[in-house]
Structure 1
Amino acid sequence: MGNGYVEVSVVASSETEEGLCDFLFSEGALGLVTEDLPGEPAGIRIRASFPGTVPVEPLVEKLKRYQESLEALGLCRTTRTIEVRDIPVEDWGRTWKEHFKPLLVGRRLVIAPPWEDGPFPENRLVVRIDPAMAFGTGHHATTRMCLEALEAFMDGWPEDQGGPVVLDVGTGTGILAIAAASLGAARVVALDTDPEACDAAGKNLALNQDAGQVRILHGGIEILGPADRFDLLLANLDTRTLCPLLHTLSRLLAPGGRLIVSGIPVEDNATVAAVVQDSPLRIVERRVQDGWLCLTLVAR
C-alpha cells in the first residue's frame, strides 16, 4: 500500500450495521458509505476508506474476528466476505463525492454536500452537510425518518407561537439541528459527547446561513439546566443508549412537546415498546424504513 487510499467493504444487517461502523471507525476509517442491497437478506454494504499506509492484513483479520463475535452474540448472520481495493489518491475525492448527491427528503428539504451548486427545486430548503465528517447525511433510513418526522412537527406548529425550542441529542453532523433551524425553530440546542462530532457539527453549521440559532454543546443531557424545557426533542441514537434515557428525556419536554427517536432496528420494537410502556410517554406515530424504526412520543 502506498500514498493512496484503501477501501474495505463488508456486508451488514440492520442489527450489525452500527457495530461494524463503530468498529471500522475505531480502526481509523476516514469515512464510511452505506449502500442498500435489495437482493441480499443482510441488506447493507458498508464501504470504509482508510489511508493507504494502513496494515491491511491485520485489519481484515480483526474485522473477521469481530464478525465472529457478533455471530456468537446471536446477531443476524451475514456473509463474511470482506473486499479490499486500492484507490489512487487522485481518485479518492472523486470516488467519495460520487456517493453523495443531493437528496430530497420530505416535502421541503434537500440535503446537499458543499460541492453541489444546484440548481435545487425552488420549494426546497437546502441543508448542506459535509458527509466525510460524522454520522448523519440523510442517506440512512434513521436520519431520513427523523427529518420527515421533524418536518411534520414543524408543519403542525402554530404560526402565532413563534418557532419551537428544539433539543438534538447525539447531533453527529448536526443535520437534524440544522434542518430544525432551517424549518423555523426559534432556538436549537445540539448535544454530543464526542468532541469530534461537535467539531463536525460546527463546521457544517458554518455551511448553512440559516442556522444561526443553533448552539452546539459538548456533553450529554446532564449539562442542561434544571429549568430547560423543549417543545421538540430529537434523539437518533441506538436502542442500548436510548432506552435508559427515555425517563430523563420525558422530563425535558415542555407542555405539549414531542420526542422523536430513531436508531432502533425493527427487531428491537418489543424492547423499546416495553420501556415506553414503563415511562411517562406514549407512542403517537411510528415510521418504518429499511428495517429501522422511528417513533414520535408525547407525555401521557
Structure 2
Amino acid sequence: MLWHELTIYTTEEATEAIADWLHAQGAGGVSIEESGTLDRKRDTSLGQWYEKPLNDIPEGDAVMQAYFGEETDMEAIQAGVKELLAKLPSFGLNPGRGELSLASIQEEAWAEAWKQYFKPTHVSERLVIKPTWETYEPKPHETIIELDPGMAFGTGTHATTALCMRTLETVVKPGDHVIDVGTGSGILAVTAIRLGAEHVLALDLDPVAVSSAKENAKLNRLEERITVQLSDLLGALKTTEASPVKLPVQVVVANILAEIIATFVDDVYQALETGGAYVASGIITSKEDLVTEALTRAGFEMESRSEENGWVALVARKR
C-alpha cells in the first residue's frame, strides 16, 4: 500500500494542536521529533518515553510527519494544515516556519522495515525473545517468549525491559499472581507466566498497547492466564468488577518512567501482600532517589537494584 507522508516544520508548542487536527482528518500515524536533549524537562504525564538522540532541530522547533492512505486528497489536507497554521497565533501558539513537504512511501518503509533489525535476543541464560517472523531452535534450558510488539513499547532490546525481565527471574515464584502496570507489548506479562506465575493482570492506558498485549498473549497461548485491561495505572482495581488475579498479589511490576512510578506507590502497597515484591524499572539513574524516597515513605523496604546503560531496576518489599 502507498502512503502519503506529510512533513510539517513547526514549533513544539504547536504540535499538540496540529496532531489533534491531523488525527481528526484520518491520519494513519503522526510522529513528532523535537529539539534538545534527553535530560530536558518533558511531558511524562501519561508515561511517554523520549529516546531521541541529539539532532539539529533548533531549540523550540519540531518536525512532524503524518501518514495518509493513498486515496486521501492531499491537496485538501495541505490546504487545511496551512489554514490551521494561520489560525494558531490567535490561540497564543507560534506556528514557527510553517513549511510543508509531501512524499509518497510504501507501507513497508515505515511499518515493516524495522523488523529486519529485530532478531532473537538472549535476555539472560534462560530467557530468549523470538520475533514471530523469525525461526529459532531453543536449547533445552531456554524459555522462549514469542513477540510481535507492533506499535507498543517493549521488545526486550531496551535496557529497561531487559533489566525488568532479569529481575523478574529472581522474584517470581510458581503460583504467584502478578500485576503488570504499563504492559506495553505484554512482554513482561508473558515473562512472568513463563517463570511460573499462575495469572497476570496486564494494564495499560494506551488502547494500542492493550491490543498488542492481547495478541502477544495469544501468540504464546497464554490468553487464559493473562488478562489485559485498559486502565490508568491501577485504576482497574478500584472498579466493582471481580479481579482476575487474587488480591493481594505477590508481585507488581512497572516498567514506566520514574515520575509515574512515584505517583502511585501507595496503590501498589495496597495491592501487594505482606512480603510481596514491587519491581520498578524505567528509572534513569538521576531519578533513582526520587523513586526510592517515595517507596520508603509508602512503607516499602528496598531489597535490590540493578543497572544497565544508565537505567535502574529496583526491587522493594512490602513490610
Equivalent-residue separation in structure 2 for 1:18 and 1:135 (angstroms)? 18
Question: What root-mean-square deviation, in Å, do the aligned CA atoms of Structure 1 and Structure 2 show?
Answer: 3.6
Equivalent-residue separation in structure 1 for 2:48 and 2:251 (angstroms)? 32
2:289 aligned with 1:277: no
Equivalent-residue separation in structure 2 for 1:222 and 1:141 (angstroms)? 27
Deviates more, 1:186-195 or 1:221-230: 221-230
- Residue 185 of structure 1 corresponds to 197
Equivalent-residue separation in structure 2 for 1:110 and 1:233 (angstroms)? 22
- Residue 96 of structure 1 corresponds to 114
Do the aligned residues in 2 keep the contact of 1:285 with 1:295 (CA within 8 Å)?
yes
The 5 A counterparts of 1:161-172 are: 162-172=174-184
- Residue 213 of structure 1 corresponds to 225
Q: CA deviation at 1:206?
A: 1.3
2:144 aligned with 1:126: yes
Q: SS in structure 1 opposite 2:298?
A: coil
TM-score, normalisation: structure 2: 0.66
Q: Number of residue pairs matched?
A: 250
TM-superposition CA deviations, 1:120-162 (whole Å, max 9, x none) = 33322111221323011111111111100001113xx3xxxx5
Do the aligned residues in 2 keep the contact of 1:172 with 1:200 (CA within 8 Å)?
yes
Equivalent-residue separation in structure 2 for 1:24 and 1:278 (angstroms)? 25
Equivalent-residue separation in structure 1 for 2:253 and 2:47 (angstroms)? 25
**Which of the residues 233, 236, 242 maps onto 2:252?**
233
Q: SS in structure 1 opposite 2:292?
A: helix
- Percent identical residues: 29
Q: Which amino acid letter does the alignment assign opposite residue 140 of structure 1?
A: H
Structure with max Cα Rg: 2
**Are the structure 2 counterparts of residues 96 and 11 from structure 1 closer, same or farther at C-alpha, using a change threshold of 3 Å?**
farther
Equivalent-residue separation in structure 1 for 2:279 and 2:122 (angstroms)? 20
- Residue 3 of structure 1 corresponds to 3
2:318 aligned with 1:299: yes
TM-superposition CA deviations, 1:5-64 (whole Å, max 9, x none) = 6998789755469869x9999xxxxxx9x6999xxxxxxxxxx986377999x9xxx9xx
TM-score, normalisation: structure 1: 0.70
**Are the structure 2 counterparts of residues 23 and 163 from structure 1 closer, same or farther at C-alpha, using a change threshold of 3 Å?**
closer
**Are the structure 2 counterparts of residues 283 and 13 from structure 1 closer, same or farther at C-alpha, using a change threshold of 3 Å?**
farther
**Are the structure 2 counterparts of residues 132 and 35 from structure 1 closer, same or farther at C-alpha, using a change threshold of 3 Å?**
farther
**Which of the residues 145, 148, 156 maps onto 1:138?**
156
Structure 2: which 5+ residue stretches go unaligned? Answer: 7-30, 55-63, 86-102
